[in-house]
Amino acid sequence: MENEDTTARANQMIKNFSDMGVPELMDSEDWLKGNGKVNSVYIAEIFNTKHGLEELKEEEEKEMLDKAGIDDDDVEGCREERAFRLWINSLGIEEVFISDFFSECRDGMVLLRVIHKIDPTAVEWNRVEKNANNVFKIGINCQVALDACAKMKIKTIGIGAQDIQEGNRKLTLAVVW
Residue 111 CB: number of other CB atoms within 10 A?
25
* Per-residue pLDDT, 88: 87
| Closest listed residue to residue 11, CA positions, set 27, 22, 24, 23 | 27
Residues 122 and 166 in one domain: yes
Claim to verify: residue 45 and residue 62 sit in the same structural domain: no
**CA 27, 33, 37, 42 torsion-angle sign:** positive
Domain containing residue 83: CATH number: 1.10.418.10
Q: Indicate whether 158 and 97 sit together in one domain.
A: yes
pLDDT (0 to 100) of residue 83? 84
- 44 and 62 part of one domain: no
H or E segment and range at residue 94: none
Residue 132 lies in a domain: yes
| pLDDT averaged per 10 residues, the chain (length 177) | 83 86 82 82 82 74 68 56 86 84 85 88 86 85 89 86 85 83
- List the domain range (segments joined by +) for residue 117: 58-176
107 and 168 within one domain: yes
User: Looking at the structure, do residues 24 and 64 belong to the same domain, yes or no?
Assistant: no
Q: Running DSSP on this structure, what letter comes out for residue 73?
A: S
CB within 8 Å of 146: residues ≥ 6 apart: 156, 159, 160, 161, 164, 175
3-state SS record for 115-150: HHHHCCCCCCHHHCCCCCCCHHHHHHHHHHHHHHHH
Residue 1 is assigned to a structural domain of this protein: no
Count: domains in the chain: 2
pTM for this prediction: 0.54
Same domain, 45 and 71: no
pLDDT number for residue 49: 81
Q: 41 and 63 share a domain? A: no
Question: Do residues 75 and 113 both lie within one domain?
Answer: yes
What is the reported pLDDT for 3?
78
pLDDT at position 73: 47
Q: Is the dihedral of CA 169, 174, 175, 176 positive or negative?
A: positive
* In a shared domain, residues 43 and 78: no
Please check whether residues 76 and 143 belong to one and the same domain: yes
3-state secondary structure of 106: coil
